[in-house]
Amino acid sequence: MSLDETLPVDKVMSAWPAAVAVFLRWRLHCVGCPAGRFHDVADACVEHGIALEPFLADLRRAASGDDGAAGMAGNDPAEEKGGPQPCPGAR
């Protein structure tokens, strides 16, 4: 299985446990969210206003053994919006 934007977020976190830290660092509170079974990575990015490509690159770095932090420098969309955005799918 390759890590791409079509995988459900729950599957990403269970297949690559290091991905959990990436979701949290990007302030996507998908960990334990009931929508995680249905939302894929692309859906989560859209719902939270996160740029897909840099987020996916961080996920892939984490999955390959890197900590995934390199791509975050100067790219924190949650800060621009005043903090983490709740997932509309979980309401």
Residue 41 covered by a domain = yes
Residue 12 covered by a domain = yes
Residue 73 covered by a domain = no
Residue 28 covered by a domain = yes
Q: How many domains is the chain partitioned into structurally?
A: 1
Contact 42, 77 (CB under 8 A): no
Each residue of 25-74: pLDDT tens digit? Answer: 999 989 989 999 999 999 999 999 999 999 999 999 999 987 645 444 44
Mean pLDDT of 67-86: 51
**85 pLDDT above the threshold of 90:** no
Between CA 74 and CA 20 the distance in angstroms is: 20
Q: What CATH number does the domain containing 37 carry?
A: 1.10.3910.10
Between CA 43 and CA 66 the distance in angstroms is: 24
| pLDDT for position 68 | 45
Residue 75 covered by a domain = no
What range defines the domain where residue 55 resides?
Answer: 1-68
Label residue 1 by pLDDT band (50, 70, 90). confident
Contact 76, 49 (CB under 8 A): no
